[in-house]
Structure 1
């Protein structure tokens, strides 16, 4: 059941165009913290000269180069940087979760409570991991075991480290699920990961990480899959528990607004190196390194280009309804309860238009989007694509339309085949849909799609696990672009990307829309990205549409208290 331990894999940095110039200047990062003179006591974690290399085809990659950092009890340090900068590899080195292809330099030291954990035996590392040092992973679907209920997985995490009966562990599990604001925890206890939304799965991971009251919590993009209101709740929860338990936190993130609000000290990483570090206040007030200034200046900007007058409707849903049956009670006396995820909703998407679908985690926005493209079967209603009714079509009957409608999913690790190389993953869609005159033509299309998605074309032989979360998301976007579709369902496509890459993806999507007349249904909880990319926005809550209209109008002058709360959390609370 140790799913996360089996599949934990490193992120390999890729040098992106435009980044090198920002990182050429000598690092401004001494080994000691700038505030070490005013600190009392010893750091609970003191990492010195950490270097990690990975064996890859044709040589090795220096993923982490001479990184040093200190973490004191009760504080939060943030490690920030673009996708592939080495921040997650650094965290996994602390946890002892690197693959066999990784080599940690002999001169590296990571001291926990005065002891070098790099010298620990495997048994000692396992005893430490999940008990004294715990980690929240970036992608919950690849960290949770799909064949066990979420309750069983949290119970296991408790009982491995604590002498506790199964009943006591179950009571503790329910308490943890309530702490992380899981709705109806008694029902969720017996559900499987695939039955929860992305945000709910991440909250289960947080509950599991906090199960044994660790001394150190490593949070690797802990709120990536969460909407803005729950993000604030979760971060406040971690901070409250930190103050209550004296827990130290390493926060790995690309969200600088979160860093500014929740961290005490910041380390900025790029291409495996710490370029600059300082107290949060000092770093934001007076950044020294060009790369730090680049990060601080990165934010989704601009707005969608106007749609052509009189554009035809490409996708329409009328009174679409989707429900699920949830099981309650025990094995011998199960009770079923209907959950209406999409409650008779209607929308129209025009050609050349981007329609945003927003709402809190569990509001039904992803379910609605998947029902519209027939990835889920609706209980009722009508769906039309380019004027053709598709609501009654079977899976086989939908095949001719699949090249015209593509999907980019929220969790790229679970949507990319781990046994296929990047080249095979992207080419597969071309082969299935008979696009490309020959092998050479298909290869050219694959390489062009990668370049368009901001990736180098020479990564065709590498596999998904060799990339960071943000890089995997760009591979997923490249796979969709390669088929030259008319419509793309984008389910949180920028949630795993750092701010500067978000801006690149937004510009790319705008460019593709203008050049090819693409239409997007953009599902997101990031209202800053929605404002920059979408023409219209639909706000969902509990399976219903509570507000819709032009994006500027809805975000600037919300008519409902729910929308106002979302806007405040996105643009005010985290600022």
Structure 2
């Protein structure tokens, strides 16, 4: 049920940098107990919109202007820093796109959530601990007591995201801004989390601004949809109507670019494909797939993983029995040259732990990894560069003080893959073109990029060494369907 007056009113919001306009004349409203989704390609201004509403652009070099930016009776454009500190958390809750970068690495997860409770609600320590553990249980975090005492680096990406969701919801805000809240979660947990958020919304009559590139999630979750493209509002309509009868070509392209699960195409469709008159795509036949498989499996494996086990021991306690935590148990598989092997499983099942083991960033407790006939820990440097990893969290994977050109140039220079600066510049340009980024991104820092753009920079950096084995840890999770298709 919507009341007559909106909870959030955004009128003519414009955000610009020195060189260009990033968000142009954006106007929309969110009513009490309403879920509004913003969709659009990577870099369209979705996260910028969220950050401006939460007052997180005041310290940036960006110029933020609006005729009106109002939450209930509060004029957000006139709030002081002190007012914002009490507004964020109590009236506005926010789930950020990259949980690793949003959590304090030096504080235990439970203490970080308790900080929020202690600031806005009265209660003793025992009551607050019980509330946090109950909230962890509600978002299906396994072993809430362990998570409470764990540091962020000791949790999987999906588990960290659930801690962020608890932190945003614990004080029952009027408006929840959820920027890609389920990106790092597996499908079953996605459904549970969205059901939980929707349940909390009904109980507390909370409004939600839901930012996502996952159109199937948006169709199930949102009441109304806003479509953005290049910093402009293209179309806004009720969810059912916009999915059945999209008015604009760009909206139609976004919806129809989704690949069909019952067909395997030679090339995944992009938004640009649907602006063309001809929209036919070649389907891979079962016969050609069988031939390809016969050819692949006639070779010797490039990677052999045998009986891998990984256990983590908690901090030692002299007065209690120390229990170890098993992340991977007796895992074995082979990967062949030219083969794409998909590793799937729920959040926290050990996928990211395995990816770190495969690039020697983590040592297995037992078992061995063999690459081209040699054990991983005995490989020479020239062989090690043939194995590259694209990390799950791009913001944490990029150096905050290095520009895009420096980040991608580094592996080229370290491994002496280019002879001079001119050759290096040309190579970086080609790599950025492969991941659909222009030359204009050369001198930008990670904080000046959207989540999807950062992810593409990380992919370009991994491709720089021309690897023979590429490990992708949720590499396209932060990308919209169209860019996913181009990158893959």
**Match of 2:63?**
103
- 1:276 maps to 2:235: yes
CA contact (8 A) 1:300 1:502 kept: no
Q: CA deviation at 1:336?
A: 1.8
Structure 1 residues without counterparts, runs of 5 or longer: 1-37, 507-575
**Match of 1:498?**
480
DSSP 3-state at the match of 2:478: coil
**Match of 2:277?**
none
Describe how 1:534-549 pairs up with structure 2 within 5 A: none
**Match of 2:4?**
41
Of the three residues 397, 402, 408, the one matched with 1:420 is 402
How many pairs does the alignment contain? 458
DSSP 3-state at the match of 1:356: coil
CA contact (8 A) 2:194 2:221 kept: yes
Of the three residues 143, 152, 170, the one matched with 2:111 is 152
- 1:212 maps to 2:198: no
DSSP 3-state at the match of 2:210: strand
Structure 2 residues without counterparts, runs of 5 or longer: 267-288
Q: Which moved more, 1:217-226 or 1:307-316?
A: 307-316
**Match of 2:13?**
50
Tell me how large the CA RMSD over aligned residues is: 1.7
- Give deviations 1:428-474, integer Å, cap 9, x for gaps: 10111111111211121111111111111232211111101100111
CA contact (8 A) 1:299 1:503 kept: no
Q: Which moved more, 1:69-78 or 1:134-143?
A: 69-78
- 1:448 maps to 2:430: yes
Q: CA deviation at 1:40?
A: 3.6
**Match of 1:347?**
333
Describe how 1:111-260 pairs up with structure 2 within 5 A: 111-260=70-219
**Match of 1:369?**
355
Quickly say closer, same or farther: Cα 1:388–1:92, change in 2 above 3 A.
Answer: same
Question: Distance between the aligned counterparts of 1:249 and 1:459, measured in 2?
Answer: 32
Q: CA deviation at 1:300?
A: 3.7
**Match of 2:301?**
313
Question: Distance between the aligned counterparts of 2:2 and 2:135, measured in 1?
Answer: 33
Question: Distance between the aligned counterparts of 1:339 and 1:176, measured in 2?
Answer: 22
- Give deviations 1:264-293, integer Å, cap 9, x for gaps: 011101111110000111111110011111
- Give deviations 1:321-345, integer Å, cap 9, x for gaps: 11112359xx774442122211111
Describe how 1:23-102 pairs up with structure 2 within 5 A: 40-55=3-18, 59=19, 61-98=20-57, 99-102=59-62
Question: Distance between the aligned counterparts of 2:402 and 2:429, measured in 1?
Answer: 16
Question: Distance between the aligned counterparts of 2:350 and 2:35, measured in 1?
Answer: 34
Question: Distance between the aligned counterparts of 2:239 and 2:439, measured in 1?
Answer: 37
Q: CA deviation at 1:398?
A: 5.1
**Match of 1:488?**
470
CA contact (8 A) 1:300 1:503 kept: no
Question: Distance between the aligned counterparts of 1:132 and 1:212, measured in 2?
Answer: 8
- Give deviations 1:128-164, integer Å, cap 9, x for gaps: 1111111000000000000000011001111122233
Please, what TM-score do these two structures have when normalized by structure 2? 0.91
CA contact (8 A) 1:86 1:269 kept: yes
Question: Distance between the aligned counterparts of 1:44 and 1:175, measured in 2?
Answer: 29
Question: Distance between the aligned counterparts of 1:163 and 1:341, measured in 2?
Answer: 38
DSSP 3-state at the match of 1:313: coil
Q: CA deviation at 1:303?
A: 4.9
Describe how 1:381-420 pairs up with structure 2 within 5 A: 381-390=367-376, 392-393=377-378, 399-420=381-402
Please, what TM-score do these two structures have when normalized by structure 1? 0.77
Select the structure that is richer in strand. Answer: 1
- Give deviations 1:392-418, integer Å, cap 9, x for gaps: 53xxx5533232111111111001111
Question: Distance between the aligned counterparts of 2:412 and 2:458, measured in 1?
Answer: 14
